[in-house]
Chains A and B, each alone.
Chain A
C-alpha cells in the first residue's frame, strides 16, 4: 500500500511542472500567440527561484522570485513579437536558447550548493490518515496551485467575458480589432501570464522536485508542455490528463528499468512521449471539436492598421 502511495506521489510531482507550464502556454496560444520559449522561461525560473531561495533561505521567496523572473523573461518576448511584430517562431526559439545559456552563466556559483525545499503540506490529523491523507493533504504547495490554476483557467476561458474576448482574439485578431478590442494589450497580459506560469514550473523543479541547481535541469520539459497544449487541442482538462499520463508512464518506465526488464532502456525512455501522444490523439479524434478549439490566428503577427 505504501509503495502505491509513494508511486502516486512521485507521479504528481513529475506531472506538476508540465501541467503548470502547459496551462500557461495554453492561455498564450488561446490569445493567438505561439511562444516557443517555454523551455527558456522555465529554466530561468528554476535558476531565479533557486538563487533567491539559497540567498534568503526562504523557499517561499524563491518561489515568488521564480514567478517574477519567468514573467520578466516573457516580457522580452512580448515586446519583440507584439510591439515590434517579429516572427514568433524565431523569437521563441531564441528565447529558449538565451534562457538556457543565461541560466547556466547565472547559476555557475550555485552548482553543488545545498538548496532549500518547500515543505509539504502537513495538516495535523488529516495528513496522517492512511493513503488519502498523504495524497490529498500531504503534497507540496505547488501541486495544489497547479490544480487550482487549471480549474481557474477553465473557468476564466469559458465562463467569463474577458475569457471570451481572449478566445475571440485567438480566433481572428482582425475581427477583434474591428470591434475595438485592444488586441495587443490582451496578448501582452496573456504572454506575461504564460511566462509567470513557466517560471513557477521552473521554481517547482529547483525548490521541490530536486532542490538544487543543475545546468539544463528543465531537461526538455518546456518542449513537452508545448506539445501537450497542441495535442490536448487547447483544452485545459485535456492538458491535465496529458500531463498526468506523461507523469505516470515516466515513473512507470523508471521502475521498469530499475527492475531490469529486458527491453532496451532507450525504448522505455521514449514510452512517456509515445503514450501521451497516442492517448491525446485518440481523444481528439473529433475533427469538428478540434477545429473549434484551434486558435485560428495562432502565430500570425498582428499589426493594427491605423
Chain B
C-alpha cells in the first residue's frame, strides 16, 4: 500500500508529505510519515490515542518543528515554521482541545487569529453572516466561557473559514458533539468539499469516517500502516488496521429480575448551586440503581456530569443527607471515606492528580485509596504499613487487569493513560464494591483496554452490584448499559431501557430538545 508518490509532484495533490519524522526524547512520535491530500477531498487520518495523529497535524500547522522530512504545498516544497506561515499558505485548523479564550467574546476570539487590523465590529458582522450562511448560527458578542462545547466548536470552525483556507484540518471534531450536531457538521464539511476545499479529518470513530471520507491514512505507533478507501472497508477491518489485532467484542448478558432487586444507590432530589460562575447547577436529580444493573449517563461534556460525580462520590457534601443513599442508608452527609466504608467505590474522570498521585508507585496509590476501608489488611499494629501485603495486592490487580508496565511497581505517571486507567478501575473492582460509580471509564484508552474495562464493569453488575457509568462516548454506553439517562444543563432525564434507546432518542435528549423534559424543568423553576 505504502503511498505511491509521483516524482514530478502531481499538481492535483494540494498537500504532499514525505518522510516526516518527529522525535521527543526517546519516543518517535511520527516515523517517516507519507501522506497525500488531493484537492477537494475529505481525507481521514485514523489511529488510536498515541498513534501520532496530533503530532503530525501540529507539524502541518507549524506548531511543532519536524526533525526530518519534506512538505510540498501545491507541488512546491515549503517549510511551515509557524502557524502564521501555515495560515498564509491556506491551512486552517480546528483544534481538538479548543484554542479559545474563555474570558473573551466570540468576536474577540476570531479577531485574534485574523491578522488584519479591521475593527471588532466588522469582524463580528462578517462572522455572523458567514455562520448563518453555513447554518451554524453564532452570536459574536457572547462570552466563550458561557457557551456549550458544540457552540465553541462553531467559533473554531467559523474562525477557520474566515481565513479562506484551502485545507482545513479538523482534530477529533465530533468527540464533543451530540449525534445531531455531528450531522450538521458533516453537512458543512460536504459543502466545503463541493466548494473545492480539502479537509483532513482526524478521528477514531470508524462509522463516521466510512460515511464522509473519500480516502484514509491509518497510523499505528507513529508509522503509516496503510492507505485505503474507507467506503470499501468494514468498521471491523479498519479497527484491525488501527489496533493491529482483533478487538474482542464486549458481551452483555441480559439482566434478569432487576425490578425486584434491592436499590443500592438512590439519588433523591439532589440539587446543587454552581460553585463558580461558569459551573452548572444541579437541578433536582432523581435516580435509582439496583443490584445487578448498569445505568449509563450520557450527555455533552460540561452539562453537570462533573458536578454530579463530585456530589455522589462525596467530594462535595450534601445539605440533605437523604439526597444520596447507599444500600438503603443516608450517605449525603458522609465524606468519600464514609461512603466507601458503606461499600461504594468511585473512579473519577481525571486519572493523574485525582485518581492517582502521579509520582507515587502503584502499590502506594493502592494504599492511599484503601487504607481506610481495608485498614486491617494493609495496616498492622501501631500503624505500621504491611508493605508486602500491599505489594502483592497491587500485583494481583496488575495481573487481573493486564496492566502493561515497564517495572514491577512503577510510578503512576510512568504508565500510559490506558494502562493507568486499567489499574485504577481494577483497584476499585478488587474490593468487590456493591456500588460502583465511574466517570468516563475509557476516555483516551485504546480499544483493547477499553473492551476489558467495560467487560469488567458488566461482570461486576451481574455479580450483584449496582454500577453507574457517566460517559460522553455513546457507543460505550450502548455497549454496557441496561438503561441510559441523559444529563442536560444540570437536569437528568428518566433512564431509557436499552431496548428502547436509539442514538436519535438519546441525541435529542443530549441537545435538551425532549418535549417531556420541559415540564420537569418547570417544576424546578
Contacts and interface: CB of A to CB of B under 8 A. Distances in A.
A296 B102 contact: yes
A175 B112 CA distance: 11
Nearest to A294: B103
Nearest to B65: A306
A177 B65 CA distance: 14
A161 B110 CA distance: 12
Interface in A5-35: none
Contact of B111 (A164, A174, A180, A288): A164
A305 B64 contact: yes
A292 B103 CA distance: 5
B316 interface: no
Contact of B84 (A167, A174, A180, A305): A180
A165 interface: yes
Interface string B106-131: 00110111000100100000000000
Nearest to A295: B103
A12 to B, nearest CB: 33
A20 B104 CA distance: 26
Interface string A276-303: 0000000000011001111010000000
Contacts of A292: 103, 143, 145
Nearest to B95: A178
B163 to A, nearest CB: 11
Contacts of B87: 180
Given A291-B277, A291-B278, A292-B143, A171 B103 contact: yes
Contact of B104 (A171, A179, A180, A294): A171
B102 A171 contact: yes
A288 B102 contact: no
A172 interface: yes
Given A161-B111, A164-B111, A180-B82, A291 B62 contact: no
Nearest to B112: A168
A181 interface: yes
Contacts of A171: 101-104
A178 B101 contact: no
B502 interface: no
B145 A179 contact: no
Which interface class (under 10, 10 to 19, 20 to 34, 35 or more) fits B?
20 to 34
Contacts of B65: 306
Contacts, number: 66
A89 B170 CA distance: 38
Nearest to B102: A171
Nearest to B159: A179
B90 to A, nearest CB: 14
Contacts of A165: 112
B441 interface: no
Contact of A168 (B64, B101, B277): B101
Contacts of B84: 180
Contacts of B98: 175
Interface string B49-87: 000000000000011110000000000000000111011
Contacts of A287: 276-277
B83 A293 contact: no
Q: Which of A174, A179, A288 has the most CB of B within 10 A?
A: A179
A229 B53 CA distance: 43
Q: Which of B101, B109, B120, B145 has the most CB of A within 10 A?
A: B101
Contacts of B95: 178
B99 A306 contact: no
Contacts of A306: 64-65
B370 to A, nearest CB: 34
Given A164-B108, A167-B104, A291-B277, A178 B63 contact: yes
B104 A168 contact: yes
A181 B101 CA distance: 13
A77 to B, nearest CB: 25
Interface of A: 161, 164-165, 167-168, 171-172, 174-181, 287-288, 291-294, 296, 305-306
28 contacts: A164-B108, A165-B112, A167-B103, A167-B104, A168-B104, A171-B102, A171-B103, A172-B101, A172-B102, A174-B99, A175-B99, A176-B101, A176-B112, A178-B83, A179-B83, A179-B112, A180-B82, A180-B86, A180-B87, A181-B112, A287-B276, A291-B103, A291-B277, A292-B143, A296-B102, A296-B103, A305-B63, A306-B65
Given A167-B103, A291-B145, A294-B103, 19 more contacts: A161-B111, A164-B112, A164-B120, A168-B112, A171-B102, A171-B103, A171-B104, A175-B98, A176-B112, A178-B95, A180-B82, A180-B84, A180-B86, A180-B113, A287-B276, A287-B277, A291-B277, A292-B143, A293-B103
Per CB-CB distance, the 10 closest pairs between chain A and chain B, nearest first, are A180-B83, A175-B99, A288-B277, A178-B99, A180-B84, A171-B101, A292-B103, A168-B101, A179-B113, A171-B103
